[in-house]
Structure 1
């Protein structure tokens, strides 16, 4: 029997048991869809994080409280950075151009009878410049607002859409912890940055935040969540990092482990990239397990098929079919199931990736490598798991097979 005849026979046998064939293919469909979707969405997430961090520019540094080891060990943010540290950096580090400390906390924001939960940021006038987050309307916080602890606020676009669809927000008053704040500005649309939706923010003077909203929580001064720093140029970033680290070690009297960290946007990009890659690899591995499970399903069904078709196998061998013919037919059936399931799974995965790209800010990419790899692996698994049932069928004694069918 030639190869084409074997394919026709295998196809007709699978078509005769449509429900069983479909259920057997389901495992391969799920596995291939998972692999393609996971890799595509993972690459999209990494690309989005890269684009967002690149928006900050290569000159930006972040001074964060606690060492990297300490931040990994606890969910509580260490209280080791204060506003005085930011002022010292601004005054004593020559390779920087701007500093903007900030203190963050989620708060309920009220306007008349409506309310929403938003990220409240206490900061200083240099914040829009460093974070490349410009004011679209009105003005930003200035030095006088800081010195006088003024109750003024600049709001993000989503706050405008939530409260001020028909009203000009400038001059209106919102309430934070039942304290009225006059709106003096509206920020331009920005989107999300590393999980933080900057359009859902309310920015107020850092002094007002400390003295009227959160209170003083550090014995060393006015606590900040982190300090944004802008270097003079790209070539000055390393020097700025070195100078800030030395300055803070002196200020904090550190003799052993640092109680702070200085991260450049490039370092953060590398960290985010490694995390995204690690998650993609892990999820792809888990998706690959479903392919193996699907392969086991193919083997089980093929074993059942061999048992049910004992008489057919015996008759064919009695009529002159060789072990190679029988082996080839069952292997072809296993491969058809695996390849068909793989193709449907890949199409499903591509559809999922496309839908995610439409309904989310991600820009997932459909990798040709992942498609080829997924199809090759599923075909190989089908072939591998189909060998045992095929060998069992090929080794059946025709006389025993015919007698057992009577």
Structure 2
């Protein structure tokens, strides 16, 4: 018998039991769709993380106080870094272009009758360049502001939006022509002009019961590590240390939260090595470091390992559906063999041999699994596109995942169809006709 005839007969047999064939494909459909969707989501999470870290700026390194042990046993952040460490790195490490020491805190910001809690950064002017922030309005913190201990502030666009609109309603100074629901950050991203009422530059705000003049607003920066970089107040480091943190002067031994550094192009590893040696020498360390240096490469590698492991786990769980679908195919095919005993006996009586029967039932199993794989692929692709359209994840259909899932589903159909096909092929035609 020609292969084309076996194929036609397999199609006819499946068409005669459409509902049963459709139900048999459900497991394969769910398995394929799950695998493709999970891979797409996993890759989307990884791309989102990469974009967040890249928003920090190129070749940025972070020098953080304490190590894993000290941070684990203490409720407070260890204070092992001082301001002099930052200046030493800038002066003595050739692979570092600039340094931005930083003191972090949390404070309540009040504007007129609106108030909100936000993060407060005490920084130097180099922060703008090192961390790749851009100004949307006004100016950034200057050296003069730091020298004079000025009470000036730069606000993130999200914070400005919160202070101008209370509980989704426009404040007293906001223009009624401003589109409801369209935030200031969104307008800046879309390069839409801001209304005169959509700014706080030149206005006075209160931070921790101190009056500050707003001198600028940053462009949208996005989130990093779950922290909104557009919801913040930036003030001079001297002002942060003297007036917010409570230091009497910004002198020797002033603790900083961490130090960010901009390394020369493709010299992040060299900068990490040199800074590590310098810090160990400055702190007189002979054992375990009392600091930690993190580069973008290190963070991305860690995030990649985590997301890769989670994606693999999700794919493994989804692949169970493919196995369940294969068992369903074998079960239904065994039922089909028992129901078609007379057909098998008649075919053998008129000349069909062992191979003809085997091929026909294998073709039926492969058709069911391949068709289920195609439908599952379509559902999985639609799921990936839907997730990408409705969430911030940068999802993308993986051609490797599609090819792999379709190949696996076809192989599963072939594998689980062997036993029923062999059972059908081994039937004795006389016994089959008598039992009909």
Aligned length: 400
Q: Does the 8 Å CA contact 1:149/1:207 hold for their aligned counterparts?
A: yes
Distance in 2, matches of 1:76 and 1:386, equals 60
Which structure 2 residues correspond to residues 124-139 of structure 1 after superposition, within 5 A?
A: 124-139=124-139
Q: Does the 8 Å CA contact 1:32/1:378 hold for their aligned counterparts?
A: yes
Query: Structure 1's 11 and 110: CA in aligned 2 closer, same or farther, altered over 3 A?
Result: farther
Distance in 2, matches of 1:58 and 1:322, equals 70
Moved more, 126-135 or 261-270: 261-270
Q: 1:347 aligns with which of 367, 378, 394?
A: 378
The DSSP-based 3-state class of the residue aligned with 2:332 is helix
Query: Structure 1's 24 and 179: CA in aligned 2 closer, same or farther, altered over 3 A?
Result: farther
Provide the residue aligned with 2:17 in structure 1. 17
Distance in 2, matches of 1:286 and 1:330, equals 29
TM-score by length of 2: 0.77
Q: Does the 8 Å CA contact 1:71/1:77 hold for their aligned counterparts?
A: no
Deviations 1:271-314 (A, max 9, x none): 44444444433433333333222222222222233333334334
Matched, 1:226 2:238: no
Matched, 1:268 2:302: no
Provide the residue aligned with 2:190 in structure 1. none
Distance in 1, matches of 2:155 and 2:211, equals 14
Provide the residue aligned with 2:81 in structure 1. 82
Runs of 4+ in 1 over 6 A off after TM superposition: 71-77
* Unaligned segments of structure 1, at least 5 residues: none
TM-score by length of 1: 0.82
Distance in 2, matches of 1:106 and 1:335, equals 62
Query: Structure 1's 201 and 286: CA in aligned 2 closer, same or farther, altered over 3 A?
Result: farther
Distance in 1, matches of 2:428 and 2:243, equals 90
Q: Does the 8 Å CA contact 2:55/2:221 hold for their aligned counterparts?
A: no
Query: Structure 1's 7 and 82: CA in aligned 2 closer, same or farther, altered over 3 A?
Result: same
Between Structure 1 and Structure 2, the one with more helix by share is 1
The DSSP-based 3-state class of the residue aligned with 1:227 is strand
Matched, 1:365 2:396: yes
Query: Structure 1's 17 and 234: CA in aligned 2 closer, same or farther, altered over 3 A?
Result: same
Distance in 2, matches of 1:75 and 1:3, equals 73
Provide the residue aligned with 1:301 in structure 2. 332
Deviations 1:127-170 (A, max 9, x none): 11101111211222344555666554322222333443643222
Distance in 2, matches of 1:191 and 1:317, equals 71
Matched, 1:317 2:348: yes
Q: Does the 8 Å CA contact 1:80/1:260 hold for their aligned counterparts?
A: no
Q: 1:331 aligns with which of 345, 357, 362?
A: 362
Cα RMSD (Å): 3.5
Q: Does the 8 Å CA contact 1:121/1:201 hold for their aligned counterparts?
A: yes
Distance in 2, matches of 1:25 and 1:117, equals 54
Q: Aligned-pair distance for 1:375?
A: 1.1
Query: Structure 1's 329 and 258: CA in aligned 2 closer, same or farther, altered over 3 A?
Result: same
Moved more, 27-36 or 330-339: 27-36
Q: 2:282 aligns with which of 251, 276, 294?
A: 251
Provide the residue aligned with 1:65 in structure 2. 65
Q: Aligned-pair distance for 1:176?
A: 5.4
Query: Structure 1's 402 and 235: CA in aligned 2 closer, same or farther, altered over 3 A?
Result: closer
* Unaligned segments of structure 2, at least 5 residues: 165-173, 176-196
Q: Does the 8 Å CA contact 2:345/2:429 hold for their aligned counterparts?
A: yes
